[in-house]
Structure 1
């Protein structure tokens, strides 16, 4: 099943869904500590970036600076779709909300400051309504 490429359809059908919990970005030099089940990993020269539940990172003694809420856009976006990330970033940036976007095969995942996650969901729902 191929993903959607039409920006208007992507925006109007994004259906942002808040995943429960708090998530942190941290890094490990080699291997994952026991009990850590990341939702995202990115291999970088400096080490492996890990996005995981805050409780798991705390239990593993991992340092972090950023605590985020995780929003999944339920629309199946094509990896080569143009403009979705830009439109979302523009909407959130208009109110000073940072956003870290990670594209999966089926969906885009947004990590926003935990204290403003409900605001981010509301803004995205508004953007979807305006795009319909």
Structure 2
């Protein structure tokens, strides 16, 4: 059915033809982005994010840990999560909540670890457990 619609000229960019209407304006999206970007981050929480990233590189099951870009993505996701919850600053809990969905696809396991049944989620749980949480 999907291919038939495309063959008949369906364009996923034509929202009106798809029967979709916007629920927010572009200005509202930009305002939300600015508000989330304004959520503050204490130095000890920044250090925590760095420590988590470094821990992915120390895991014996990991061939390739998260990159600096993945680390900034986690910070941005934690800021959005905090903003959505009405918090003026991110906490380690915000970081931990967003860690798996942000980093799950950014880690490459060692082939032998995969053969042993190790999952990225279990590695990330280990990373959180092994990393000191700022108080």
Structure richer in strand, relative to its length? 1
- Per the normalisation by structure 2, the TM-score is 0.31
- Per the normalisation by structure 1, the TM-score is 0.31
Return the structure number with greater relative CO, CA threshold 8 A, min gap 6: 1
> Max radius of gyration: which structure?
2
Structure richer in helix, relative to its length? 2
